[in-house]
Amino acid sequence: MATQGNGRQPKYQRIADTLREAIQAGEYGPGDRLPGENDLMATHDVARMTARQALGALQNEGLAESRKGAGVFVRDFKPLRRRGIQRLSRDQWGSGRSIWSADTEGRTLVVDQVDVSEMEAPERIAKVFESETGAPVCVRSRRFVLDGKPVLLSTSYLPADLVSGSAITQEDTGPGGTYARLTELGYKPVHFREEIRCRMPSRDEASGLDLSMGTPVIMICRTAFADENHPVEVNEMILDSASYVLEYDFDA
């Protein structure tokens, strides 16, 4: 097989490039079936493994998806544009709107799994809250599904003594969500910090997001601060990288 060392692409990558260009040119639209392994073998005179790798490369990029027993199809899904600045504006959650409504543009976003519990703070969370490891925290775990596709796993940690007895400890936090409830408790978020990195998913993450083999995830860890730089929430989010565009729009 040719390698990058001799200045040539592997055969499977050249085939994947050809299919990608055809998708971008509209020759294959959303939901259309791509040529199968046998077709690619005959057209490009390659082995089955090479054809399989070419189709796998498109799946890993999020352009195509495999349907058991039917073949590989162009993915019929419009990426979600996550507006990192606008969604956290006080005008958003302060007026009773969900921060997610800034991203969805009228599309149907459903939280199909919610779990609220109390546990001992992991060391990394206790460090942010400047509390002892093992101090109780309220944990809110949710899965977000857009247009029938799981796109996000979210786990929020909040000091248990701060939110005890509030709607934050319930599955439905009410209009404006957690940040509106924190404001009512006297801990209005005034500053946010997000850290972003990419990695491969764990087995549970891949299962929860219904990811195909080899699809990476984006991990966003957001900390919300009240007055006097007081951290009041840590939210660890796992995003299907093929389902998102991260947008940050701000003045110079």
Q: What residue segments make up the domains of the chain, in order of their start?
A: 4-74, 80-247
- CATH class of the region 80-247: alpha beta
pLDDT of amino acid 213? 64
pLDDT at 26: 87
Best CA proximity match to 77, nearest among 154, 146, 21: 146
Question: Which stretches of the chain drop beneath a pLDDT of 70?
Answer: 1-7, 77, 93-97, 100-102, 212-214
Q: What's the pLDDT score for residue 155?
A: 97
Q: What are phi and psi of 28, to 5 degrees?
A: -125, 120
| pLDDT score for 66 | 84
| CATH number belonging to the domain at 4-74, selected among 2.160.10.10, 1.20.1250.20, 1.10.10.10, 3.40.50.720 | 1.10.10.10
Provide the pLDDT for residue 146: 86
Phi, psi of 135 (to 5 degrees): -60, 145
- What pLDDT does 75 receive? 79
Give the number of other CB atoms < 10 A from CB of residue 206: 18
Report the 3 state secondary structure along the chain: CCCHHHCCCCHHHHHHHHHHHHHHCCCCCCCCECCCHHHHHHHHCCCHHHHHHHHHHHHHCCCEEEECCCEEEECCCCCEEEECCHHHCHHHHCCCCCCCHHHHCCCCEEEEEEEEEEEECCHHHHHHHCCCCCCEEEEEEEEEEECCEEEEEEEEEEEHHHHCCCHHHCCCCCCCHHHHHHHHCCCCCCEEEEEEEEECCCHHHHHHCCCCCCCCEEEEEEEEEEHHHEEEEEEEEEEEHHHEEEECCCCC
Task: Give the model's pLDDT for residue 218.
Answer: 94
Produce one character per residue of 90-115: b if its CB has 16 or more CB atoms within 10 Å, e if not: eebbeeebbbbebbeeeeebeeeeee
